[in-house]
A and B are shown apart, each in its own frame.
Chain A
C-alpha cells in the first residue's frame, strides 16, 4: 500500500496532528512548582515528531520527484482490498455502541454471529454453523469470566429488565 505519494500524505497528516497537539499543550496548567513542568516532556516528543515528519516529507517528496510518473500513478487506495477490515471496524463499533443495551452476552453473540456471516457467507448451512459457534464460544467465555473469574461483565438493559 505504501509508496511516495502515501508517505507524503502521511507526513502531512502527522505534521497537522503534531501542530494540533502542540497547540493543545499550551492549555496544560502550570502549577508553579519547581522542576520540570507538565507540558515540557510532551512538547519535546511532539517537536521531535515534527522534525521526523518533516524529514519523511522531504525524503518522500524528493523520491516522488525522481521516480517516473508511471510509478507514482500506480498508487491508488483500493477499498475492496480493505472490505473485510472495514466490516470488522463497523461491526466492532456497532457492538461497542450497543453494549449498554445488549450487554456482553447478547451483544457478543450478535457481534460474532454477524461478523462470521458477513465474512464467511450466507448459506443455510453456514448460518447454522455460525450461530452455533457464536453461542457456544461467547456463552463459554461469558461463563468463565462471570463464574470462574468473578468479573461482572456488562449486563445490558435487556437482561436487566428480564
Chain B
C-alpha cells in the first residue's frame, strides 16, 4: 500500500512534465473560475482535448488543476468587482465585496485563498481515507444494487436541479434516451439509427456533453448584442498584494467554522449533482446561524468569507469520492472526468482503486498538489484575469466555438462528432431557454449505458424482479430515491403540515430497515440509531398529530 502511494507520488510530484501541466491546468482553472459567464465545467471541457495525447495520470493531473483552480478563481472577481465568477462563489460576494470596499482587499483575498486551501486539504484527507473504504463497500454491489444507485443518482439530480421537477425528469429521460441511440451494449443491435452508419455507432459521450454544456452556454453568452460587445467587466479592478500571514492566522483562529464548512462541502459533493453552487450558500447560512455577531454578516464578516470558500473547495473532494469509489459523478465536472478516463480505456467503479492503484492514488496526490499550485499561482492569475476581462465576450465566444470544433474532432478524428456537438448544442440552448435543467440530462447521458447494462445483467442472472426490493443495498437506494423525489415537496410545503413534520422521521425509519437487513454489526448499530432518532422525532411531534 505504502509503496503504491510512493510510486504514485513520484509519478506526479517528481515528473516535471506532469507538474508543469498541472500548473498550467491550475492557472487555466483560476481564470475560468474568475471570468463571469464561464464555469469550472467549461474550463475542464476546454482543457480536455489537450489531454487526449497525454498519459492518463498527466491528463487527470491537468484536469485536477483546472478543477481545484476553478473553485478558487471565482473569489477574485466576486471580491474585486462584486460579480461572482462562478455559481460556487456567490456567497463569497456577500462579505468579500464589502470587506474590499472597506479598504481591506489584501486581507479579503487572503482569507478567501487560504480558506479554499484549508477546505481543500480537509476534503483531500477525507477523500484519501473514505474513497477506498467506499469502493470496498461498492464491491458488495450486485447489478440490482447498482441499478438502484443510478436511479437514486438521477432522482436526486432532478430534485436538486430546480423548481420544475417534471422538466428535470424529462431532461433526465432525454439523456437516458440519447445514451440508447446506436448499437446496444449487450446484443450489438442497432437502435434508432435511421439507416445512418454514423448514428449506428452511437453518440460519443464527450461531443454530446460539450455540445449540451459548453456550446449552448456560449450561445447564451452572446445573446445580448450590447453585452457581448462590451468588455467582460465594466467595474475596474487593480492587482492587490495579498496579506498571507494575517489571513492564515485569521482562518486558523476560526477553525470551527472552517471544519464545519468543509464538512458541509464534502457532504454536498458526495451527493450526485449537488455541487459548489449549493454548498457555498449552505455553509454561509450555517456560519451565520452559528455566529454571535450575525449583524456583521453582509458587511464584511471574516466568517462570511471563510465559510463559502472552504465549502466550495471541499465540494471538489466530495465529488471525487463518489467518482473514484463508485464511478458515479458527483457533479458535471466529475461527469466530464469520467469521460476523460474512458478515453484512456479506464472505467471508474468499485474495482477502480484496486485495479488501477497507481492512477487512483496519483489522482489523490494531484488533488493535494493542485491546492499548493492554486496558492502559488493566485497572484499571477489575478494579473492575467485583469487582462482577460478587457476582452469582449463575442471575441472569446467565437474563438472558443472554433476551438470546441477542433477539440471534438481530435477525439476520434471524424467530422460526425462535430455535427453531434452542434446538434446537442442547439438542443442544449433551447432547453436552457425553455427552463429545462441540463444537469439531469448530462447525468442521464453518462449513466444511461451503465443503467441498461446493470438491469440487463440483473435480469440475465435471475428473472425474480423482487430482488430489487429484497436486496438490502438496492432497497436502501430505492428508499433514498423516493426520499429525494419527495424532497422538493418537503421544501415547498407549509411548515405545520403533517407531511413536513413526518418527512424526516419516517425517512429515517425507512432507511433503517435495509441497514438491519445487511446483518453487519456496524450497519445494525447505524440502523438502530436512525430508528431511535426517527421514533424520537415522531414522539416529539405527536402533539401535532393530535391536533390534526
Contact = CB atoms under 8 A, between A and B. Distances in A.
Contact of A154 (B219, B415, B419, B425): B415
A119 B394 contact: yes
A145 interface: yes
Interface string A22-55: 0011001101011111110110011011001101
12 contacts: A25-B192, A28-B191, A49-B174, A84-B394, A92-B401, A100-B415, A119-B394, A133-B395, A133-B399, A149-B50, A151-B53, A153-B406
A87 to B, nearest CB: 9
Contacts of A108: 402, 405-406
B376 interface: no
A116 B398 CA distance: 6
Interface string A1-27: 110001100100010000001001100
Given A33-B187, A96-B418, A115 B409 contact: no
Contact of B173 (A45, A88, A120): A45
Where chain B touches its partner, the secondary structure class is helix
A141 B402 contact: yes
Contacts of B222: 84-85, 88, 119
Contacts of A49: 170, 173-174, 177
B503 interface: no
A24 B399 contact: no
B413 to A, nearest CB: 6
Interface string B124-139: 0000000000000000
B201 to A, nearest CB: 16
A65 interface: no
A96 B422 contact: yes
Given A24-B194, A84-B228, A2 B410 contact: no
B180 A45 contact: yes
B170 A53 contact: yes
A111 B413 CA distance: 20
Contact of A145 (B176, B223, B394, B410): B410
B184 interface: yes
A22 B508 CA distance: 40
B54 to A, nearest CB: 9
B243 to A, nearest CB: 38
Given A49-B173, A108-B405, A120-B394, A99 B415 contact: yes
B434 A83 contact: no
A134 B460 CA distance: 55
B229 A121 contact: yes
B452 interface: yes
Interface in B169-212: 169-170, 173-174, 176-177, 180, 184, 186-187, 189-192, 194
A132 to B, nearest CB: 11
B491 interface: no
Would you list the 10 A-B pairs with minimal beta carbon distance, nearest first?
A: A38-B189, A119-B394, A35-B460, A42-B180, A36-B456, A115-B398, A151-B410, A2-B435, A149-B53, A41-B452
**Which residue, of A34, A49, A84, A112, has the highest number of chain B Cβ atoms within 10 A?**
A84
A82 interface: yes
A55 to B, nearest CB: 6
Given A28-B190, A93-B422, A119-B397, 6 more contacts: A36-B186, A52-B170, A56-B166, A84-B219, A116-B394, A144-B50
Interface in B128-180: 166-167, 169-170, 173-174, 176-177, 180
Where chain A touches its partner, the secondary structure class is helix
A38 B187 contact: yes
A38 B169 contact: no
B455 A36 contact: yes
A153 B187 contact: no
B432 to A, nearest CB: 9
Contacts of B460: 34-36
A95 B405 contact: yes
Interface string A109-146: 00110011001110000000000011001100110110
A89 B397 CA distance: 13
B406 A145 contact: yes
Given A55-B166, A112-B402, A41 B410 contact: no
Contact of A46 (B49, B177, B392): B177
A52 B223 CA distance: 30
A39 B325 CA distance: 31
Nearest to A99: B415
A104 interface: yes
Given A39-B191, A96-B422, A120 B392 contact: yes
A151 B413 contact: yes
Contacts of B191: 25, 28, 38-39, 42
Given A81-B223, A84-B222, A89-B426, A96 B459 contact: no
A79 interface: no
B403 interface: yes
A107 to B, nearest CB: 9
Interface in A55-70: 55-56, 59
A116 B395 contact: yes
Contacts of A112: 398-399, 401-402
Interface string B90-104: 000000000000000
A161 interface: no
A77 to B, nearest CB: 10
